[in-house]
Amino acid sequence: MQPAVPRTPSPDAGVAHILGINHYNSEENEWKQVQNTEEANANTQPRSNFALITWNVDFVSSEPQDRISAAMSYLRSMLISGTEDPDTISPAVIVLQEVNHEMIKSLSENEWVRKNFYITDVVSDKGIWQKSHYGTVTLVDRRIKVKNVIRLHYDSNMDRDCLFVDIEAVSSRTSEVVTVRVGNTHLESLVGAKPWRLEQLKLAARFVLYDTNVYTGLIAGDMNPIDPYDLKIADEAGLKDAYLVGGGSEDNARGHTWGYQTENNQFPKRRFDKIFHPPSDKIKVEQVEPIGIGEKTPEKPKVYISDHYGVFGNVRIL
């Protein structure tokens, strides 16, 4: 019997690329990339709280542009603060997974996105998009200062990564201006011969746990918990699961985010989409709950926005 040939790790495994952030210049009618939002002459004020939304928007289903447009319309209506100005929304960071090339085009042309958000990716002909059909994209409210963008590549058979944005916030306890790192991840899918997801999350966790320039952070996204070990990966990586910290239960269907808007499910219905954070007194995530349940595109053929529900959390920096 021939010995197994060792697998060669992904060539960019563990590599972290420093990227820019894009802002829409309404005078020139185009997106412009800058290294941080100071270069965009942004008028920002550090905040001690913001909304965090994670949503896997399903790269493979039909009508991708209609679905991502419907997702943005739904999030806009959800974030409206109740003021008389319909464009006034709660400041939010939105982390999306499985954004495909058509969706990037639709996001970059969306008027609400152009007016209210910075976005990590607006074209699909460079970077990860040259070798992948889909990837992670993060939107940051323009009232929040973005200091840095990092794309950390995993050892992965599926070109998976964690996309970090460093934002400026203020501690509600000390009034100190601090850096909060928000990670957007899509861990390896399917059952593998090795604990891919644990290794990937451990690598990403180092970027929020041990960087002395970062006050605290979060990692949110599609965690693909399909093996028994997946129930413990947050603890193994040194992180806490915000839904469980808030009193939620892994077995309670109210927290499930996948399996209800799909056909021929290969895996049981469960909570795929999660928000993790360090076990410290510097951060608290409240009101963690699924969103987008049953939401479909408004035009025929009406299809679900995604096979996943999104997840909302209210982040407080302490």
Per-residue confidence band for 81, with pLDDT thresholds at 50, 70 and 90? low
The pLDDT tens digits of the residues spanning 101-124 come to 999 999 999 999 999 999 999 999
Q: Which amino acid, residue 48?
A: S
pLDDT of residue 191: 75
Alpha helices in 165-224 (DSSP H): 196-209
Per-residue confidence band for 2, with pLDDT thresholds at 50, 70 and 90? very low
Percentage of the chain exceeding pLDDT 90: 81
> Can you tell me the mean pLDDT for 231-252?
95
Q: Which of 17-31, 69-83, 303-317 has the lowest mean pLDDT?
A: 69-83
pTM, two decimal places: 0.95
The pLDDT tens digits of the residues spanning 134-161 come to 999 999 999 999 999 999 999 999 999 9
Per-residue confidence band for 266, with pLDDT thresholds at 50, 70 and 90? confident
Contact criterion met (CB below 8 Å) for 183 and 208: yes
Contact criterion met (CB below 8 Å) for 170 and 185: no
Contact criterion met (CB below 8 Å) for 262 and 278: no
Pairing of strands 117-119, 134-141: antiparallel
CA angle 10/158/4 to nearest 5° reads 55
**Residue 162: φ, ψ to 5°:** -125, 125
pLDDT of residue 314: 96
Per-residue confidence band for 1, with pLDDT thresholds at 50, 70 and 90? very low
Contact criterion met (CB below 8 Å) for 162 and 204: yes
> Can you tell me the mean pLDDT for 282-287?
96
DSSP 297: -
* Cα 207 to Cα 63: distance, rounded to the nearest angstrom: 36
Domains of the chain with bracketed CATH: 16-317 (3.60.10.10)
* Cα 136 to Cα 188: distance, rounded to the nearest angstrom: 13
**Residue 126: φ, ψ to 5°:** -150, 170
For residue 5, give both structure tokens. 């040939």
Whether residue 43 has pLDDT greater than 90: no
